[in-house]
Amino acid sequence: MIIEDVPWNENDVQPLLGMWGHLANASEGPLLISTSHPGDGQPAQHRAWLDDAVAGLTGLGIPVLGTFTAARDGVYRHSC
């Protein structure tokens, strides 16, 4: 299952973990998380928030296939 447009704010991501868990259980498959980079000059911080979210999901036993990030330049970068 693909989850798109994940917010980059840590306070917005944490409440979504439970919802993502329900989606993963319903689809009975791993998650692929797609995000859009806000282009605010803090890519390392945003990456850390997303990594924390993925760690939280895998810690709950929810498989994550990987993540894709689209920067404002339209180039996709991925982490699996």
Instruction: Quote the pLDDT of residue 4.
Output: 57
Is the model more confident about 35 or about 40? 35
More confidently predicted of 77 and 61:
61
Taking the whole predicted model, whether its pTM rises above 0.85 is answered as: no
Determine the angle formed by the axes of helices 16-27 and 43-59, rounding to 10 degrees: 50
Look at 18-27, 44-53, 69-78 and tell me which has the smallest mean pLDDT.
69-78
Average pLDDT value for residue range 12-16: 60
Report the distance separating Cα 31 and Cα 2, nearest Å. 6
In percent, the amount of the chain with pLDDT more than 90 equals 0
